[in-house]
Each structure stands twice: as structure tokens, then as C-alpha cells.
Structure 1
Amino acid sequence: MPTILVIDDNPAVATALEVLFSLHDLETRHAPSPAAGLALLDAEDVDLVVQDMNFSADTTSGDEGRELFAAIRARHPDLPVILLTAWTHLESAVELIKAGAADYVAKPWQDAKLLATVNNLLELAEARRELDQRRDGERRRRDDLARRYDLRGAVFADAASERVVALACQVARSELPVLVTGPNGSGKEKIAEIIQANSAVREGPFVTVNCGALPAELIEAELFGAEAGAYTGANKAREGKFEAADGGTLFLDEIGNLPPAGQMKLLRVLETGRFARLGSNRERQVKVRVVSATNADLPAMIREGAFREDLYYRLNTLELAMPPLAERPGDILPLAERFGAGGPPLSAAAASALQRHPWPGNVRELRNVIQRAQLLAAGPRIEVADLGLPKTAPVRQAPAREPEREQIEAALERAGGVIAQAASELGMSRQALYRRMERHGLKAS
């Protein structure tokens, strides 16, 4: 049962509120003074506070209420506080709303309106607690992953990234091939590093090959090696990446660029562990854990005849899909802080701009943006202009439109004058709604 603390020196007010709340399954605590109220808050769990603005006899300034609210805010910053105020204290109440008070209710109050305000705030508080609990749970899971596994310095805070990292740790001990899919710059190589670092061959070599950065005629020689004279310019025998990775892990990035002949050889190595260098008939035996990655649509390439279906199913025995950065927004600021470590911090506006940007270049683009901003920042903080983000770029989420006077009036009418409920409907904070109301000359009822 939710608990409401009423801080008011008038016993009649406290009794009336206790009766009202008890009829709606709300438990009430009463404190006759600010000191008693603060002491009770320290001793018990309270879900919401209803406080008066004056406590001493013949005092009408509202200063005591302001001091009490400041003290509650300092000790319990997330606790919702409703102000009980006479019309003479309306300006003071509005000032406290802007400072973070949940709402105010004028005396004498309307029971229905007060209950609506209380229930709405309790629902918002419960939702906030659930969100905090979920975030705490996610933080504990990340900490547990870091204790149990070598995460190779991976930075992530979004649940989508956590799932991929956790799965990478889980499959690392297997000897089966792993296919990591996702757009360019999303962090596929970091996932491959995590797999290697937690595998049974973590003490062995970790060799990477970017199949998209090599001419098609050289990829086979790069992977399997070549004897002298095997192709023009091959003046001496060379070891391939499979030999170099023997006893460890071979990471094949952009596997979709492998030509047909290379695909056939790769399939055989995956099945038997055996291959021959270009220009040689002697087969060599290796034991290599293969992790591959691609940003290509391999099933579409199979339908077009550009990629072997049997190789695809051999490569993706275990598939890990890394989402683009725009789909894991919780990672944006932690990554930005890592890339900017040691340099000027982000301003609040710059941090907001980073979260709105769609990041078509993913993590790689974010790193470049932060590194460039550090060079350009002239002040103590990185500002929006330092980021150099395109002004015409689409954002991940369109900003809320400024509500018109008629929309605000309609929302207030539907909410029965309950500011918190109207603000929630309009998609803004209570403080923001009060500012819009002042701008349009609207008074709270």
C-alpha cells in the first residue's frame, strides 16, 4: 500500500486528508512540523509528500514551505512533493514547481482533483522505480559479465549490446564457427576479440583478415599461402593466415567478398582442417577456430549465386547479430566518454545532439566525431558546434512539437486541471508545461 506523508500543522487538514486517502487504499503519515516531517522521512519509506507552505502562527510568507521543500529535495531528490497552498502563495508554488516540486493544490482542495493528482504521481513514481530497478539489474549483469569474462575493454550500456556480448561469452568455449553480422563500424571485430579471449585457444594467435580490403586474386594466397611462382610476383613461398592462426583463432572480416574458389577451399578447411598452398599439391593440417563477419546479406547472395549455401551454413553454426548504433542508444554516451577520455567533457547540449544523431557510420563514426571535436573545442567543454554533425541529417526521434494554446487548454480540461496528467498527455515535464502556460497567459485551476 502506498504511503503518503502529510506535513501540516493543522490537525484538521491532516485528519481530512487521512480519511480521504484511506478510502482509496492509501496509507497516511502525519507530521505537524517541518522538523518532524524530515525526521519521519529519515525513519520510514514514503512514496509521496503533501506539504503545507506555512507552519508558524500568523506567518503567510511561504518561506517555511520553501525551506522545507529544499530540505526534502536535498535528502530525497526523486520523492514527489505536492504543495498545499492558499491563493496568496500561488507564485511561490509555481516557483517551486519550476524547481522540481511535483504539483500544487490550492486550499480548499477538490477531493477528486487531489486524488487524481496523487494517483498519477504515484504511478509515475512506480514506473520510475521499475526503470531504476531494471537499470540496476542491467548494471549488475554487466558487472557480473566483467568479473567472469575477459571483455577486452568493450564499452556498452544498452541491453541490445549486452545480449550480444553475453552470447559471445557463452559460445566462446565452443569450437564451432561463429558468424558475426551487422553494419560496418558496429563493433563486429570487438565481438570476435571477446570470443577469442574467452575461448579454449585464448593463448593461441588471433589473426585477422579483411577479405574486403584485398584484390580477389590475392585473397586465396592471403588465406592459404602460396609457393614461389604460384602467381605473378610470388618470388618466394609465403605462409597463409590459416597457418599463422594454427592453434588459435582466425577472424575473417567481410567474408562476403571471398571469391568462389576461395569459398570452396574455405569450406574444405572448415570440414577437414586441411588445405594446400597455391601452387602446391601438399596438404597441410591446421586446427583453427574460425570467426567470420559480414555486413552483406548472405542469403540474398546465395539466391544470386554469389555465395555458397553449404559454406554459409557451415560458417553460421552460431550467429551473433550486432545491431547498428542507432538501435542501441544506451551505448552512445558511454562510448563517447571512452573515446574522449582525457579531453574536454561534453556539454549537456552536445550530449543531447549525439543521442539524436542517427549514426549511419556507427561506432566508427562516433569515434571520429569525438576525436575531431577534441581538436576543435576552444572552451572547457565540447559544444554542439564542435561536433560537426550535419544539420540536415535525420534524427532517430523527431523532437516534440511545441503545443499550441488550444492543445494545452484541451489537455488541461481532459485532465480535470491536474497538471501532472496534462503534462504526461502532452509529452512534457510539469515544469515545461507551467512555462508554456505562463507564456500563453493560462492559469492553473
Structure 2
Amino acid sequence: MENDGLSLKEMLTVSDESNSLHFLDQRVIVFDLASLALLRKELIDTLGFHGACAILTRFGYAHGWCTAKMLSQEFPDLVKQSHGGALLHRLFGEVNTIELKMSNGNDDEPLYECILKDSYEAEQHRLLYGKADEPACWTLMGYASGYESFKFGREVYFIEDKCVAKGDPYCRIRGNFKEKWGDKIKPYLEFYAMSSADIMLRDVSEKLRETERKLKQRQRQLGLLSRLNEDHHGMFVRSTEMQKVIDMAKRVAQVDSSVLITGESGVGKERISRYIHEASCRSLAPFITINCAALTETLLESELFGHAKGAFTDANRDRPGLFEEANGGTLFLDEVGELSPATQAKLLRVLQEKEVRRVGENRARHVNVRLLSATNRDLLQEVKNGNFREDLYYRLKVIEVKVPPLRHRSEDILPLANFFLRMYCEQMQRKINGFSTKVASMLLHYAWPGNVRELQNMVERAVVLCPNNQIDAEDLPPELLLPFGDNMSGNHLKSLAQVEREYVANVVTAVGGDKRLAAAKLGIGFSTLYKKLQQHQAARETA
């Protein structure tokens, strides 16, 4: 066949500004054959041969149609010629057409009969699955159908009756107008039907969701094998108090009831909300967060409910709110106690009616959103003071999850500190092995008024300032260097037995669980340490 002197070099351009590749005016990307083979295998393993054939045939059809459309603008004469599509197949490295016959399509002869050699699809399929029972050049068949359908302005479909994947010496495809095929084309039309693709895509989506759930479950199981692994979506749970919180969060994740998460600033309320979302059936849908204290009343209302064009100055277009963005998923309202009375009333209506109205619009839009909220205020006291609506309070607090402050769960301090240490060492490319015994003790006995957030910031500061491969007391902020100070007041006082128990546990953790090394660091015998650990365990069990 003639090639009209065309080459890929004439059709491909590289943008120096964006480093992007273009075929004529259309941006393109390059795939290697190994990746395409993997894609074929994954489609077949997931959907079966029938489903994979439908997806790849439709993909090829779209590719052929779009290619013909682009060429018609730059090389209209090439599109009109009988061998245009075959030439592009060869230029793209997909297949060589060694023989092409064409008729007028009005007689008994097919419109096209093409003998193909070196089909990448046939080679891949034979390599992956051995000898096939049916032809396997699905994408190439679809490409030819799409290309010629655009060219003629009417439906043209190709059927492959010989294929190297079946053991034939060559691949052969024949094309004809739809009506000329008669009943013979009917079994193939479903591969081009969008409805069948929609059904398969829904099935695939469900399978992907199930796979995602199994993967997350497996990751959590693997996390339990190491004490310092990420146990619960970024949270390290060693304390009994925090384990109770996680257990409750796991239970409430299975229902759609509104949850109010309470606790001091920095304890990890948003982490808990994410855990509830990711453990729920909405885990693959959006998780949207907003800090109610960070915006003015007007802006917050627009963010939550959206606005119509012209609703206020600078509202130059319709904009959906976060309730619409989170549709099907979860919306997390942080610092919900900061809502104004007017916004409280509108939020209550959304919860009751399950619909929103954009600012400046009367139309109601149905939303399906799981609402989680958090506050560090005593909302019941705010209700008594007249600052928070009582009906909204009970709507938000169908279930309350109380997150304890870090000072009440000292067992979580060192695992969290080690996690932050590894995270910042990786980000800053530092090599720091851990905390000195002295620092570990200081971390355990500090009150942490800023909770987990303060601990995280402290570790980041220490990683920045540490000159050695171990964080020492000199790398800590001044408030931690005071051995007692403000931490000696009120509920922060600890008994001597509790201090010893926590310190011994800290040393054992700091040396990676090596009890003989821990005994040497403590200056006591191994048998003494063993007895103390037994006593401490007994004390915890009877507490």
C-alpha cells in the first residue's frame, strides 16, 4: 500500500512550554505494551472475556472515530482513501495490513477485507492465556469500525474471523455497512451498546468497592503485627480509654446517625471522624470537612448550602455547597459550636428535611449526607446560656463520642511521638534513631495542654533542631524542660507508684522491648525488672 509519504514525525509535535505530546491538535500519551497487556489481563480477570471484549471494543471504536475526525481537518484526502485507517495502524505500531480489498459495499462482497500481520493484541493474548477459542483483536476491530463509521457517515462494523491468537497464520477482519451484515452482526452489536457498558461498569464499581474494603481490612490486620504500625487510620491506640473510643467509633460507623465528637482542642477529633467515615459503607464517597470558626456567617452559609448566580456581590455563577459536594458521603463540621443562630436554624432544616436551598434560590435539592460534627465547647451549657439551639443540639448529638485528652492516655504518647518522628525524618531527610531515655520520661510526665497537636509540633521542632542522631532534652521546647512547673497542679499529680510504672514501661519501649537492656539502663537486675513488670501488670488488671 502507498503511505502518501506521511510519517509520525509530521503528525506529532512536542510542546516546549508544557512538555506535552500532541497528535495533530489533540494531546496524546504513550503506553508501553507491557502496561497494555496488564490492562487486558486485569479486565479479563475482573470482567471475564465477554466483558473485557466489550470494554476494549468500545475503547477502540472511540479511538478510531476521534482519529478520523482529527484527520478530516488536517488530511481530508487521507481520510477519504481506502487505506487511511490501515496506514495509521501501521504508524502507531499496532498492526501491519499486508493485504486490503475494498468493494462498493452494495454487492455480496464485504466493503473491506483486511489481512493483518503482527497484531499486538493477538500476540499479547496468546502470551497471557495461550491459544484462544475466539478472535482476540478487540481494540483493532473496534478502531476500524469507528474510523470507517465516521468516514462514511453511517454505521460500519468489522468482524474478525481469523486470528493469530487462535492459531491462524494471520488475522483477518471484514467490514461492511450494518444493514448489509444482516443477522450476522447482531451478536457483535452488544459490544458497541452503551447500555451494556453501563451495566458492566456498575458491576465493576461494586467489585472495586468490595476489593477496597478487603484491602483496608487486610492493611489493618497487618498493622497489628507491629506495635508501632498505624493501627487505626493514623491513630495509635494503646490506652484503654482510647480503645473504648475506637470501639464506639467502629460501631457507630455502621449506621448513618449523626455523631457529635467532643474533646479538648488537638485531641484528634477530625481523626476520629475520618475513621468513622472510612469504616462505614460510605468510605468510597466524598469526605468533606469545614471549620465553622474559620469563616464569617455569610461565607459559611454560602460554603455549606451553595449560592445562585447574583445572590450577592461577586456571585458570578451558580455554585453548589458542601452538602451537595458531600452527597452520598460524609460532611464533618468542626467547631460546630461557633455557628450563628441563623446558620443553626438552616442547618436544623437540612437535617430534618434532607434537602438544601442555595443562597438566593428557592429550589430545594435533595441530599444524602452523613453528618459528623465536633466541638471543644460544652454545648449543653451553651444551650442553657441561650447560645445554641436545643433542638439542633439533640439532632447533632444522636450519639456522642468523647475523645480523652492526651494526659489521660499516657500509653499513647510514645507510640505517637515515634510515628511523628519517623514522618518528619522522612520529610526532612534526617537520620534520627529515636528519643533519649530522659526525653521519653519527660514526654510521659508532661501535661500536654495542646494534646496530640502540641506533641506533633514538638516533635517537628525537635527534628529540625537536633544536631545528633538522637533527640535529647536540649532539643525540646522550654516548657518541657521544666521538670514539674505548671504540671504539678490539680489533676496532673501522679502517685510515686504510677510514676515508676510509667517510667519503667517507657524505658522498655525506648529500647525496643529488650528487657535485659532495659534493666541495664535502669541500673537494676533482670529478675528485679521482671518482678516489677509483673507487679505493674497486676496493678493495671485490678485498677
With normalisation by structure 2, the TM-score equals 0.46
State the one-letter code of the partner of 2:265.
N
- For 2:189, the equivalent position in structure 1 comes to none
Distance 2:242 2:494 in 1: 24
> Is the partner of 2:487 in helix, strand or coil?
coil
TM-superposition CA deviations, 1:315-340 (whole Å, max 9, x none): 11011000111111111100000000
Cα distance, 1:366–1:257 mapped onto 2, change above 3 Å: same
Does residue 383 (structure 1) correspond to residue 472 (structure 2)? The answer is: yes
Report the number of matched residues.
263
Does residue 331 (structure 1) correspond to residue 412 (structure 2)? The answer is: yes
Distance 1:237 1:259 in 2: 24
Distance 2:353 2:493 in 1: 50
- For 1:177, the equivalent position in structure 2 comes to 258
Distance 1:297 1:231 in 2: 35
Does residue 394 (structure 1) correspond to residue 487 (structure 2)? The answer is: yes
- Picking from 294, 300, 317, the partner of 1:219 is 300
State the one-letter code of the partner of 1:325.
L
Distance 1:348 1:181 in 2: 33
Distance 2:443 2:231 in 1: 29
TM-superposed deviation, 1:219: 1.1
Q: Is the 8 A contact 1:150 1:197 kept in 2?
A: no
Distance 1:252 1:169 in 2: 19
Does residue 153 (structure 1) correspond to residue 234 (structure 2)? The answer is: yes
> Is the partner of 1:394 in helix, strand or coil?
helix
- CA radius of gyration, larger in: 2
Gaps of 5+ in 2: 1-220, 426-430, 498-521, 526-543
- For 1:8, the equivalent position in structure 2 comes to none
Distance 2:231 2:359 in 1: 37
Pick 1 or 2: higher relative contact order, CA cutoff 8 A, min separation 6.
Answer: 1
Does residue 308 (structure 1) correspond to residue 389 (structure 2)? The answer is: yes
- Picking from 282, 299, 310, the partner of 1:229 is 310
Q: Is the 8 A contact 2:231 2:237 kept in 1?
A: no
Distance 2:332 2:363 in 1: 25
- Picking from 270, 282, 301, the partner of 1:189 is 270
> Is the partner of 1:340 in helix, strand or coil?
helix
Distance 1:160 1:173 in 2: 21
With normalisation by structure 1, the TM-score equals 0.56
Q: CA RMSD in A?
A: 2.6
Q: Which has the higher helix share?
A: 2
Distance 2:278 2:494 in 1: 40
> Is the partner of 1:252 in helix, strand or coil?
strand
Distance 1:389 1:157 in 2: 28
Q: Is the 8 A contact 1:184 1:295 kept in 2?
A: yes
- For 1:365, the equivalent position in structure 2 comes to 454
> Is the partner of 2:464 in helix, strand or coil?
helix
Q: Is the 8 A contact 1:150 1:198 kept in 2?
A: no
Higher mean C-alpha deviation, range 214-223 or range 237-246 = 214-223
Structure 1 segments, 4+ long, off by >4 Å, are 398-401, 428-431
Q: Is the 8 A contact 1:301 1:307 kept in 2?
A: yes
TM-superposed deviation, 1:430: 8.7
Distance 2:342 2:269 in 1: 25
Query: Where does 1:251-262 land on structure 2 (aligned, <5 Å)?
Result: 251-262=332-343
Q: Is the 8 A contact 2:262 2:376 kept in 1?
A: yes
TM-superposition CA deviations, 1:165-217 (whole Å, max 9, x none): 11101110101101100011100001001110011211110000110111122
Q: Percent identity?
A: 44
TM-superposed deviation, 1:400: 5.4
